[in-house]
Structure 1
Amino acid sequence: MTLGYTEDNFRSGFVSFVGRPNTGKSTLTNALVGEKIAITANQPETTRHPIRGLVHRENCQIVVVDTPGLHRPRTLLGERLNEIVKETYSDVDLIVLTIPADEKIGPGDRWILDAVRNAAPKTQVIGVVTKIDKVSRDEVGAQLIAVHELLGTDVVPVSAVKDEQIDVLVDVMASYLPLGPKYYPDDHITDDDTEKRISELIREAALSGLKDELPHSVAVEVDEMLEDEETGRLTVHAVIYVERPGQKTILIGKDGRRMSRITHNARLEICKLLDRNVYLDLRIKVLKNWQSDPKSLGRLGF
């Protein structure tokens, strides 16, 4: 029988997911929270700021911190994202290293593990093998053994897209957390503000179908949100920034078709998020080399 909430048995704390880009951290965060709070895309390095999601259970409350993927930076933005991730390590109770089932452990995983242990030598690290739905059971077993040999601690296999082993992972994470109170109300799912979530949904729509380096050059800023009291409609004015005129042309697409699709898809997600009618006014501007310009990065919140 599951015990209810009492100060004597309730556990709470902060858990950080780390790993190479595109190992499924954001998809796993959404599965744990039970609602989409982190955008996902096929491109690596999609996550650009720590996203805190709340996992509520009768005997625990886990604040999952989905961080940008640690990587060898090529731009000032990359350097700042890495610093944000490393700062996160010192503020959490548990670190979870994500390694996909369909990729062998490589130098990048070892580099991240070394970085984690150097930044937070006293923080417990456990492993999660993600994307187990993509390979056979034998391959999952082999990967579990390999990750256990790498870490020497608990390793949990999960499939976020098929909701497999999610509750097992919650139980394992909770076992490492200290006894403590609830930090947030039961209906709280994230501490990201509405404008940030809207800008991320727009960026997700813009990233769809993009290839090569262009996804890294896309940033979004919400200019303003205006209420229409007569119609009850919310108008959102937002800007997509790219680094070069050619990138702007790609996003607009032939006869403006890609831009129309971006606006349509983003609007649907924003309506779903806010549960109301929304008009999305979306523009594209060139902000030259913003990933390496300190002033532009500051303007965009990095």
Structure 2
Amino acid sequence: MTDETNLISSLSDLPRIPNAPPGFKSGFVGIIGRPNVGKSTLMNQLVGQKIAITSPVAQTTRNRLRGILTTEKAQIIFVDTPGIHKPHHELGKVIVQNAQNAINSVDLVLLVVDSTVPAGGGDRFIIDLLEKTKNPIILGLNKSDQQSSNSEAINESYLALAKPYDWPILQFSALNGSGIEALQEKLIEQLELGPYYYPPDLVTDQPERFIMGELIREQILLQTRQEVPHSVAVVIESVEETPNLTRVFAAINVERDSQKGIIIGKNGSMLKEIGTAARTAIQKLIAGEVYLKLFVKVEPKWRQSRSRLSEFGYRLEE
């Protein structure tokens, strides 16, 4: 069989993108906000499947991640961006620049805030950035299920920020799903008529290896403390697939020997715990049995090195 025949055969196996019916809407929605306001949890809730990692640690998201929601009326491509914050190293600069770039590369911006705390300087900084975009903006008050008795005063602090711009405002909980249906309808209402950009059954455009690496990093975020979570980069070195088993080999890169010791743990206990939980998550992702082998490597000051950042998958995006 020739290379050309192989190419034609492989293309025929790809899911087909149908023609959109009359009145169909589509577009890209950027989910913007400070770190730890629930952006990744929200995207997972909107698309109905876990594709973005979540943890109590701020700045969990490092790359722009696309989630895809397709309904009878519309196809929404959500761009989950890293939390916008003051960067302290090259990795932070790349993360924040990518989030800022996303504001102007989407059709609609969803500004997500944490409605359990009053509006602060970080929110005002983001609003200053949004003043420069011509895209429509929706303000989303997340964590409505966790609000306390002073919720009215907190909500008013955000309403005051949004009032000069006449932004639509919705309240919801990304955690339990309340208010999500109304949010989805408002997003569709704001989009223009458009085509399918992706096959209807696709929920993300990220390669499987990327999601595998993120699921491993999520367990490190959940199970380690102190400085370790922010100093970790996970690289999937190889994936070997057989009919009954998928073997995944991944390197966990840290900056110092002390961090390596924390991740490995006494007699390898922490690494085993991380691996067991990550393997379970990856098995759900691929719907099959997984053998996961983790290695821990020390790469001094990798967050300060543009070449290392590129090797580990952190690049400036257009």
Q: TM-score range by the shorter chain?
A: over 0.9
Are 1:149 and 2:160 an aligned pair? Answer: yes
Aligned match for 1:283, one of 268, 282, 295 = 295
> Unaligned regions of 5+ residues in structure 1, if any?
none
Q: Greater CA deviation, 268-277 or 251-260?
A: 251-260
Aligned match for 1:91, one of 101, 105, 109 = 105
Q: CA-to-partner distance for each residue in 1:133-157, whole Å, 9 max, x for gaps?
A: 1114x64444333322212311111
Are 1:250 and 2:294 an aligned pair? Answer: no
Aligned-pair distance for 1:266?
Answer: 0.4
Q: CA-to-partner distance for each residue in 1:172-205, whole Å, 9 max, x for gaps?
A: 1111111112212221100010000000000001
Alignment match, 2:13: none
Aligned-pair distance for 1:56?
Answer: 1.8
Aligned-pair distance for 1:210?
Answer: 2.3
**Mapping of residues 153-302 of structure 1, within 5 Å:** 153-228=167-242, 232-302=244-314
Partners of 1:116 and 1:292 in 2: CA distance = 28
Contact 1:147 1:155 in 2 (8 A): no
Distance 1:212 1:115, change over 3 A: farther
Q: CA-to-partner distance for each residue in 1:230-266, whole Å, 9 max, x for gaps?
A: xx21110100010000000011112211110000000
Aligned-pair distance for 1:112?
Answer: 1.2
Alignment match, 2:130: 116
Are 1:51 and 2:65 an aligned pair? Answer: yes
Are 1:103 and 2:117 an aligned pair? Answer: yes
Partners of 2:150 and 2:204 in 1: CA distance = 35
**Counterpart AA for 1:293:** S
Contact 1:101 1:132 in 2 (8 A): yes
> Unaligned regions of 5+ residues in structure 2, if any?
1-18
Contact 2:20 2:194 in 1 (8 A): no
Alignment match, 1:29: 43
Aligned-pair distance for 1:6?
Answer: 6.4
Identity within the alignment, %:
39
Partners of 1:213 and 1:173 in 2: CA distance = 38
Q: Greater CA deviation, 246-255 or 208-217?
A: 208-217
Q: TM-score, normalised by structure 2?
A: 0.89
Contact 2:234 2:250 in 1 (8 A): yes
Question: In angstroms, what is the RMSD of aligned CA positions?
Answer: 1.5
**Runs of 4+ in structure 1 over 6 Å off:** none
Q: TM-score, normalised by structure 1?
A: 0.93
Distance 1:226 1:109, change over 3 A: same
In structure 1, the residue corresponding to 2:187 is in which secondary structure? helix
